[in-house]
Structure 1
């Protein structure tokens, strides 16, 4: 709900990541929109029927099961993530890592194999001001932040995010 008016916001939630796709003062219309989305109504029909919805590229990619591409684009073009751009560009340049769903939290880049699977294979990568990298596999109880030499970073991440890590 908004503070200035009766307004109901609609958002899409991926574990550890959320974005708004619209708002309306009509709760009934919002419920209809959610039901139509869940029923798989095509995006062009949703947009025409529910003009309050802002169905951007990321929402479309998510519906097609391919949200990583537009998420990479957003992170690499948003000034807010400028401090992570070097690391993001390096990770994105690898064909395997580019298919992972990226988010940034507390200065660390999270790469998730499956965007909607919060318990699935994922890593956090932090690059400090000196260019050193630390990596932690999320959800692996015994895993701790591990310093990874710059030259080994891509191979280390590939191993941690594929079946090779034996998770």
Structure 2
């Protein structure tokens, strides 16, 4: 940023940074709001509906708001989506506190017009993020090559209750969407009759599994037998 340009975050700078500015505005407990060390000036607030992060833009006064579902314990960072942005710090903090308090998404959208709450965000409120994610993966053309595997997994009464994520051609199933340490497993289709399965623990290896044993193997890996 040009040092001769006016600082668009004078109030934030005067407060000592975004973290103390938000704490002062929200009167939040120290344990409920913290900086993200690997992203300059990013702030995270833990809530029952995901981690809300605030990232200030560099070229203009704009606080970008995102919701992040904690990632896997191994090589998947999690699930993140943008829900809006505003240049009003107090309005931003009021929205974060309201979100954290569990106010309905309809009320949030009515009170904070800068929010953009998509279908997945609303599925969180309905308690249906898993079914929404399955529906999305089974309908998006981009995942056509994995549809046979996805349908096989979704047909099982246990596995369809696991949260699915696509990554590098494999399907990852996770027991608890909001728990980064939750049991999880990864499965990759080789040829329709053979699959590779990798348990969700650090250092785990891929194991080849025939089609007839796939469901039992995945259930065992998820401790759901």
Q: What TM-score do you get using the length of structure 1 for normalisation?
A: 0.84
What displacement does 1:138 show? 0.7
Structure 1 gaps of 5+ residues are: none
Deviations 1:120-142 (A, max 9, x none): 110011113x3331111112x56
Matching residue within 85, 96, 102 for 1:34: 96
Q: Which residue of 1 aligns with 2:222?
A: 161
Matching residue within 79, 82, 94 for 2:141: 79
Q: Which residue of 2 aligns with 1:151?
A: 212
Instruction: Please state whether the residue corresponding to 1:116 is helix, strand or coil.
Output: coil
What displacement does 1:62 show? 2.1
What displacement does 1:90 show? 1.4
Instruction: Work out the CA distance in 2 between the residues paired with 1:90 and 1:124.
Output: 14
Structure 2 gaps of 5+ residues are: 1-55, 72-77
What displacement does 1:25 show? 3.4
Q: Which residue of 2 aligns with 1:45?
A: 107
Could you tell me whether the CA contact under 8 Å between 2:68 and 2:80 is conserved in 1?
yes
Detail structure 1 runs of 4+ shifted over 4 Å in the superposition: 1-6
Q: Which residue of 2 aligns with 1:7?
A: 62
Higher helix proportion: 1
Instruction: Please state whether the residue corresponding to 2:102 is helix, strand or coil.
Output: coil
Instruction: Work out the CA distance in 1 between the residues paired with 2:154 and 2:108.
Output: 32
What displacement does 1:93 show? 1.4
Q: Which residue of 1 aligns with 2:80?
A: 18
Matching residue within 169, 176, 197 for 1:107: 169
What displacement does 1:46 show? 0.5
Instruction: Work out the CA distance in 1 between the residues paired with 2:224 and 2:131.
Output: 22
Instruction: Work out the CA distance in 1 between the residues paired with 2:133 and 2:81.
Output: 11
Q: 1:127 to 1:43 in 2, by over 3 A?
A: same
What displacement does 1:114 show? 0.3
Q: Which residue of 1 aligns with 2:25?
A: none
